[in-house]
């Protein structure tokens, strides 16, 4: 069932110069302990263009009070007019609560496509580093690599079941490292740093994509620069911030706490 759009969604889309529609939930299913997939129907074809793009969904925070949450597009099926998001439920928040209670037929305002994340077509190898909130973007970006190419994933997880994998073109070299957080704080970069330290970066030209916790991605960026990767070849995007809810428009709070 689709419902009339909230006027604030229409205004937001006009301001951001993007699209807005009321989508309906087709299916939701747990992929692991902390990751849920949700498939939505409505204007899916406008999301086919740029792997790495995302949408803003409007979810209820408290009765009568709404916020927007941004989620990367994991897959698009234009024939069925459907697209899929992978949403982390490792924490208590309006977005994670929404996906856990969503049922087929529920309506949700969707603004987008949004985002500046895209694959570097010139890179010989692509390094994806972060937590499970980045998996949808990591895998969709990697699926768009022209073979022969190389994708390396270094992803921190809270539960062994969260090591959700994907299937890629046979011509692609794929290395995946999942690191158990072992109870470390969510803004502790030690796990990802040790995962990165476990292998040498390939010699030819590569591009790194860092999506995840605000301060973790910053530290990982510095570590990669120390290892010789230039800033221009690193795409860092904080997706969330430990201890702080994202702002009502969906971005992590950027001010120093
Ligand atoms: C461009 C972009 C693309 C994104 N794509 C995805 C995606 O594909 N999948 C996805 O799951 N997330 C994605 N995110 C991150 C997601 O929007 C945030 O995690 C958001 O904070 C979730 O909202 P919430 O209402 O559940 O939690 P909030 O209300 O924002 O936060 C509540 C509490 O939970 C903590 N928290 C929030 N998110 C996480 C998390 N992921 N892990 C651990 N603790 C957390 C916060 O620190 C806070 O203490 C993306 C963010 C951006 C900016």
Q: What is the pLDDT of residues 196-208, one digit of tens each?
A: 999 999 989 999 9
0.95 surpassed by pTM: yes
32 lines ligand 1 (CB under 6 A): no
Pocket test for ligand 1, best of 240, 245, 248, 250 (most atoms within 8 A of CB): 240
Instruction: Report which protein residue has its CA nearest ligand 1's atom 19.
Output: 240
pLDDT recorded at residue 254 = 86
Residue 94: HSE in the Cβ half-sphere, 13 Å Cα cutoff: 23
Helix residue spans in the chain (DSSP H):
7-16, 94-101, 135-143, 190-197, 214-226
86 lines ligand 1 (CB under 6 A): yes
pLDDT recorded at residue 255 = 77
125-240 adopts what CATH topology? Rossmann fold (3.40.50)
pLDDT recorded at residue 1 = 56
Query: What residue ranges in the chain does DSSP mark as E strands?
Result: 20-32, 35-41, 54-62, 65-77, 82-88, 107-114, 125-131, 149-157, 172-180, 206-213, 234-240
Residue stretches of the chain with pLDDT short of 50 = none
pLDDT recorded at residue 2 = 59
**Centre of ligand 1 from the C-alpha of residue 97, in Å:** 11
pLDDT recorded at residue 145 = 96
Instruction: Give the start-to-end residue ranges of the domains of the chain.
Output: 7-113, 125-240
Q: Looking at domain 7-113, which of 3.40.1350.10, 2.70.70.10, 2.40.30.10, 2.60.120.200 is its CATH number?
A: 2.40.30.10
pLDDT recorded at residue 169 = 92
pLDDT digits (tens, 9 = 90+) for 94-115: 999 999 999 999 999 999 999 9
Asked if the bond preceding 148 is cis, omega within 30° of 0, the reply is yes
pLDDT recorded at residue 256 = 62
């Amino acid at each position: 069932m689709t419902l009339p759009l909230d006027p604030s969604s229409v205004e937001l889309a006009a301001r951001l110069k993007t699209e807005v529609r009321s989508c309906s939930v087709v299916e939701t299913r747990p992929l692991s302990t902390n990751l849920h997939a949700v498939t939505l129907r409505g204007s899916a074809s406008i999301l086919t263009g740029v792997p790495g793009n995302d949408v803003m969904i409007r979810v209820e925070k408290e009765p009568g009070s709404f916020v927007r949450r941004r989620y990367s597009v994991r897959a698009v099926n234009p024939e069925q007019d459907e697209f899929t998001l992978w949403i982390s439920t490792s924490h208590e928040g309006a977005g994670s609560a929404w996906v856990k209670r969503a049922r087929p037929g529920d309506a949700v305002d969707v603004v987008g496509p949004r985002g500046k994340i895209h694959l570097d077509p010139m890179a010989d190898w692509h390094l994806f580093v972060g937590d499970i909130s980045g998996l949808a973007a990591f895998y969709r970006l990697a699926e768009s690599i022209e073979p022969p190419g190389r994708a390396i994933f270094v992803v921190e997880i809270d539960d062994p079941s969260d090591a959700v994998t994907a299937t890629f073109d046979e011509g692609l070299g794929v290395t995946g490292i999942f690191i158990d957080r072992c109870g470390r704080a969510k803004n502790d970069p030690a796990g990802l740093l040790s995962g990165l330290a476990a292998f040498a970066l390939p010699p030819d030209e590569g591009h790194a994509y860092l999506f995840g916790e605000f301060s973790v991605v910053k530290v990982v960026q510095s570590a990669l620069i120390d290892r010789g990767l230039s800033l221009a070849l690193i795409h860092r995007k904080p997706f969330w911030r430990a201890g702080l809810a994202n702002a009502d428009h969906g971005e992590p709070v950027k001010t120093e706490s």
